[in-house]
Amino acid sequence: MSDFLDQDAVAISASIEAGEITCEEFMAATLERILQVNGDVNAIVSLRDPDEIMEEARAADRSERRGWMHGLPLAVKDLANAKGLPTTMGSPIFEGQIAEKDDIMIARMRAAGAIIIGKTNTPEFGLGSHTFNPVFGATHNPYDLSRSAGGSSGGAAAALACRMLPVADGSDMMGSLRNPAAWNNVYGFRPSWGRVPTEPVGDTFLHQLATKGPMGRSPRDIAALLDVQSGPDRRQPHGCPAEPTLPSIEADVKGRRIGWLRDWGGAYPFESGILELCETAIGKFDDLGCRVEEVAPPFESEEIWKSWTTLRSWAVAGGSAALYENAETRAKLKPEAIWEIERGMGFSALEVHRASVVRSNWFKRAAKLFEEYDALLLPSAQVWPFPVEWRHPEEISGTKMDTYHRWMEVVIPIGLLGLPCLNIPAGFSSGGLPMGLQMFGARGSDAALLQLGHAWHAATQHTASLPGVIAAS
């Protein structure tokens, strides 16, 4: 029965529809896997009562099929609300808070038939690409339990790698669907901004950095889940109709032009072995008939960084200033959150405006670049998964990091513009640690990127390499 856990979610769904396996059987295998490995990895938190979950699976077997996710287990990232489950956001401020309703994206996945079994672990408020918090502790990398699983969708990525979930939801401001996917040898997709709506709370016009999105062990699964999550919400101004991506996933990618940005002309430091692994990996695109060319830095990296850190801190302050202004809750905030909020509260309107002008200029330059290239490539992380007891890396190959998140700088040229981006697994270090590549394109090119990812997946099959924690269980 555990063989089903290794299959892609779309294949599992087809097996359930064909009667080759029941929802009850698949759920039992899933809960057994969670029992075996989650104690070591700590990816799934707030797990519901297993008897209640199994009864819901049996009810799914008796009921009419609701969608392609019918009967599939899902654990929701602990930044989103799932009715009846805690939403802690990794913070003691919200420990014990129970959601009264589903967020938009969660409601859509539940309507497609998913059975929500619990939550996945995340850093406090999702800040920082290392999943640890004072409520649930740290999530460990299943390929090396002494290492970080990344973040902020670290619990989701680790659960996928361990076959504790067939697909997962996540969110991404500063690489949170990409870095953990790279470090756990799975796929993570940051959709075009506005394709997947967030909750219509507070400002819905100005902040365009974070988005929800899917994670999976194949681009086909990513496409299937993205199609469930996508679509406008009438209460929000920026959403737009989104064409389904799954029907077009099979495509001839021969002749597509891909640009390799490497280390942005030396602007981004990398730990030893990462660039070499990525450059070896992208040779597979040549085998697929694509044309890969190295591209010079298209925009000044420091200007992107200044724009990003201004707009990010402004956004964090906009969402969390009330927690800072209350002395009781401020005492429970982690230092990184306080730093972001204080910076954001200190900016003038003109400083925010200037940062957005830089973003606008970079967007125009990128649009010109996508007239030449179908996709661009960057590594998904500048460091290998680091020791789980660290808060964050303080230097990379001799270069000191001046903020808690500077080591993640390679993800921000994409996030600043709201571009679609797929992490594709790129292989492993000599010590067996996973790494990935960011493959990104123009806004609205989600389907085209997933087509390239699908071809890559068929040619590489990196996700078939199971983490050691499974073999040891």
- d(CA 240, CA 283) in angstroms, rounded, equals 36
Pick the catalytic residue from 13, 46, 77, 218.
Answer: 77
- d(CA 150, CA 325) in angstroms, rounded, equals 30
Question: Which amino acid is located at 379 in the chain?
Answer: P
- Residue 233 near residue 239, CB atoms below 8 Å: yes
- 357 burial type by CB count under 10 A (0-12 exposed, 13-18 middle, 19+ buried): exposed
- Residue 103 near residue 199, CB atoms below 8 Å: yes
Pick the catalytic residue from 129, 176, 192, 313.
Answer: 176
How far the first Cα of the chain sits from its last, in Å, is 16
| Secondary structure letter of residue 265 according to DSSP | T
- d(CA 414, CA 369) in angstroms, rounded, equals 13
- Residue 13 near residue 70, CB atoms below 8 Å: yes
Pick the catalytic residue from 91, 152, 171, 218.
Answer: 152
| Secondary structure letter of residue 264 according to DSSP | T
Strand partners, 291: 257
For the question of residue 152 being annotated catalytic, the response is: yes
Nearest Cα to Cα of residue 343 among 398, 370, 368, 306: 306
Sheet holding 421-428, edge to edge: 167-172, 211-216, 187-190, 421-428, 434-440, 375-379, 257-260, 291-294
Question: Which amino acid is located at 391 in the chain?
Answer: R
- d(CA 380, CA 387) in angstroms, rounded, equals 18
Nearest Cα to Cα of residue 132 among 141, 143, 120, 124: 124
For the question of residue 176 being annotated catalytic, the response is: yes
Contacts of residue 4, Cβ cutoff 8 Å, sequence gap at least 6: 12, 15, 21, 25, 26, 29
- d(CA 189, CA 230) in angstroms, rounded, equals 13
Nearest Cα to Cα of residue 187 among 162, 163, 217, 152: 217
Both structure tokens of 339: 């730093």
| Secondary structure letter of residue 132 according to DSSP | E
> Residues with catalytic annotation?
77, 152, 176
